[in-house]
Every structure is written in C-alpha cells, then in structure tokens.
Structure 1
Amino acid sequence: MLQSLISPAFSPSVIPQAREQALKEAPGRPVIMLRPAPVKVRSILGHAIAYTVTHVLVEWTADEQYKVRWEASWLVRRVEESS
C-alpha cells in the first residue's frame, strides 16, 4: 500500500524523520495513529497516517519527493484503494 506511494529513490531514513517532525508539530492533542488509508486532499492523492480532532496527517509523493503535512479534516476525503 505505502510502497506504491513511495519511490525506491527515497532514503529509508527520510520517511521516519519527516513523519516524526510532523507528529511533533501536530495541531492539537491527542494524536491518533492510523493504518495508512488512501485519501484525496484537493487534487493530491495520498495516505492518511494520523489524526487529531481537527486535522489529518497526510503523506504523498510529489516530483519524486516524499511529503507529509497536516490538513484540515474537512478537506480530506477517503477514496477506494486502487489495485
């Protein structure tokens, strides 16, 4: 699931570091971790990996770079996972 999102060119240490930093900057507490779920935010397709009462932590790739960002929960829509 996550492997289809992430390019093999990524350093294995980049992903945990980016996630850890984003979790430290969470807009609210508590932070609940999720099993990665496919979502769409605006035109971005990615995976939801955590949430707070008001925000969802979404990860995706753009221009062969790993991205992770907190998004307002009302912008995040769950989508069916493609096979």
Structure 2
Amino acid sequence: MHPNQDNVVPFGSNYPVSGLPPQNIEAEEAILGGIMLDPEAMTRVSDRLSVEAFYISAHKDIYQAAVRFLTLGGWGFLKYPMICLC
C-alpha cells in the first residue's frame, strides 16, 4: 500500500465499496510526476483538471500548490520547482 493512501481502501478488503468514488492512484502520481518533470505541463492540464479530481489528499495539496505557482506567473521565478512542491 502506498504510504500516502490515508483515505484509500486496499483492494480485496471487506470494506463496502458502494460509496467509494472512482479513483486511479497511479494516474494521479503520473500527472504530478509529469508536472514536476516538466513544469510547463501545468499550462496544458490546468484548464481540464481541478483539485477535486484527485483522490489522495496529499496529491490534492501538491496539485493545488502547482496551481498557485501557475497563477503567480508560472515557474519562471523558480530555479528548482520540484524542491518547492515536495
């Protein structure tokens, strides 16, 4: 189990999943990783992807921080954006 999955039910558990929203943790990680590797990716996804699309609360926080950086004028003022997000 991923260490940040404080609000995720493990596969195969006896937890009733009827009220569980759709989720794809690997996709969340891939999106955030892509943004960290290529900060310009935020300009391509920010109009399609909202903070609420993330299931893991830590992923929401990281994406929200990236959105804030974008609204401040992009990543140009940061030499190492990945350090600021982590």
TM-score, normalised relative to structure 2: 0.29
Higher strand proportion (structure 1 or 2): 1
Higher helix proportion (structure 1 or 2): 2
Query: Per chain length, whose mean CA-contact separation is higher, i.e. which structure has more relative contact order (CA < 8 Å, sep 6+)?
Result: 2
TM-score, normalised relative to structure 1: 0.30
